[in-house]
Amino acid sequence: MSAVPLRTADLGRTERQRVVTVLGATGSIGDSTMDLVRRGGDRFRVEAVTAHSNVEALAKLAREFKVRFAAIADESRLGELRAALAGTGIACGAGEAAVIEAAARPSDWVMAAVSGAAGLKPALAAVDRGATVALANKECLVCAGELFMERALKAGAQVLPADSEHNALFQALASGNREELSRVIITASGGPFRTWPVEAIEQATLEQALKHPNWTMGQKITIDSASMMNKGLEVIEAAHLFALSADEIDVLVHPQSIIHGMVEFADRSVVAQLGAPDMRTPIAHCLGWPERIQGPAARLDLAAIGQLTFEVPDLKRFPGLRLAYEALRAGKGAATVFNAANEVAVAAFVARQIKFGMIARLVEATMAAAASDGTARAPASVDEALAIDHRARNIAASLLPQIAAKAS
C-alpha cells in the first residue's frame, strides 16, 4: 500500500506562527487556553488578553506572554492595571470598549471565553474583522445567534465551536455532507442532581449545585449544568452553529462524559467524538485547526472506564431543558429572553435570594411575560437583541420578589 501524502501543501502554513487573542483569559476556559498556548511555545504569539476585574491574574498573564494589549472590563481597575504593567511597554485599557478593542486588534485567532451575554460585542468585533473565532461563550449565540452567524458569514470569519459537545459535532460532521445529516445528539453528564428526586432538587444549596461530578468550570456554567439549563443553552447553540431545527437535535444523558457528541447520517451511521472530560481537548482542536496539535489531556482508557451508560433526560425534574426547546421552537426573541432570564436567575441563586428550583420558574415566568408584552419580538440587529436582553432582565428582576416569596 502506498503511503498517503501528509498534506505536504500545508507544511509552509503549519510552520507559520499563529497570533492569538484570549477574551476572558483569567477564567476556566481562558486558563485552559493559556495552558495550551504556553505548551505551544514559539508556535503562538499572544496579541491581547482580557479579564473582568482580576487585575493581578491579568497582569501576570500579560507579562508572562509578553502581550501587546491587556484590557480589564471593570473601569475602576484601570489605575491598578497600569501600575501592574508599568515598565513593560504593554498597552492597556479598561471598560467594555477596551475589551472590544482587544478583540478588534489584528490577530489570526480569538478565543471568546467571556461568560454570559456580556461577551457578545467583543466576540462580534473579532468576527467582523474575519478572524478565526473559537467560541466557548455559548450565551452570545443564544442571545443573538442568527445575527451572529450572519455577521460571521458576511465577514468570512470561521467560527470554531470550543464547547465540547459542539466541537464533537464539528469533528463528526466532517464525515459527511450537511444534506446527508439526519440528526445530532449532544450528551449531558446530568450534573450533580441527575439521580435526585424533584423535591430535593428544588431545595438544593449553592454548595451542592457547585459540585459538578466530571468538569471543573466557571461558576455560572456549573450552576447551569446542575439545572441542565446548560444543555438547553447548548441545544440553541447547536441550532445556530450548524443550522439545525429543534427536531434535529437530541440530548442524551451520559454520566461518564466520554462521548461528547454524535452525528447520525442518512444511512444510519452514527459518528461520535470521544475523549476524557478535559476542555483542553476541544480547545486544542480549535487552536490547531485545521491541523492537529499535541493535547495534554489524559489518554482515553475505555477498559479502565469499563462502561458507558445513557439515559433519556427527565424534563420534569429538569424543566430548563424543556424551556430551551420551547424558546428555540418559538423563535424570534424567545431565546434572547430565555438566556437573559437565566442569567438573572443564576445571579439570584448565587446571591441566595432564590431556591434552586426557582431558577427555571423565574425563566418560565419571564418568557411568558415577554411573549405577551411583545418583548420577545424578532431582533433586526444586534443592538435590538441587546435591548431585548436588557428588557428581559428587567422583567426577570421585577418577577424575582414574587418567585422568591413562593420559595419560602
| Site residues, ligand NAD (CB under 6 A) | 24-30, 50-52, 54, 73, 99, 113-115, 118, 136-139, 163, 215, 217-219, 221, 279
70 vs 233 by CB, closer to Mg ion: 233
The x, y and z cell numbers of residue 355, run together, are 431556591
**Residue 122 CB, nearest approach to ligand NAD (Å):** 7
Q: Does residue 224 interact with Mg ion by CB under 5 A? A: no
113 vs 388 by CB, closer to ligand NAD: 113
What is d(CA 26, CA 6) in angstroms, rounded to the nearest whole number?
Answer: 37
Among ligand NAD, Mg ion, none, residue 107 binds (CB under 5-8 Å by kind): none
Q: Does residue 237 interact with Mg ion by CB under 5 A? A: no
**Residue 406 CB, nearest approach to ligand NAD (Å):** 28
Angle between helices 164-173 and 229-242 (to 10 degrees): 30
Give the number of residues written for the chain: 408
Contact 244, 235 (CB under 8 A): no
Pairing relation of β-strands 44-51 and 18-23?
parallel
239 vs 365 by CB, closer to Mg ion: 239
Closest CA to 105 of 78, 90, 126: 126
Among Mg ion, ligand NAD, none, residue 118 binds (CB under 5-8 Å by kind): ligand NAD
Peptide bond into 313 cis (omega under 30): no
Compose the 148-187 pattern: x for residues touching Mg ion by CB under 5 A, - for all others.
---------------xxx----------------------
**Residue 30 CB, nearest approach to ligand NAD (Å):** 5
| Residue nearest ligand NAD (C-beta atom) | 27
CA dihedral 157, 163, 168, 171 (to 10 degrees): 20
Closest CA to 228 of 316, 116, 147: 316
Contact 126, 133 (CB under 8 A): yes
168 vs 363 by CB, closer to Mg ion: 168
Among Mg ion, ligand NAD, none, residue 258 binds (CB under 5-8 Å by kind): none
Distance of CA 365 to the CA centre of its chain: 25
Distances (CA, A) of 3 to 6, 9, 12, 290, 371: 9, 16, 21, 21, 60
47 vs 237 by CB, closer to Mg ion: 237
Among ligand NAD, Mg ion, none, residue 192 binds (CB under 5-8 Å by kind): none
3-state secondary structure (DSSP) of residue 153: helix
24 vs 313 by CB, closer to ligand NAD: 24
Site residue total, Mg ion (CB under 5 A): 3
Among Mg ion, ligand NAD, none, residue 217 binds (CB under 5-8 Å by kind): ligand NAD
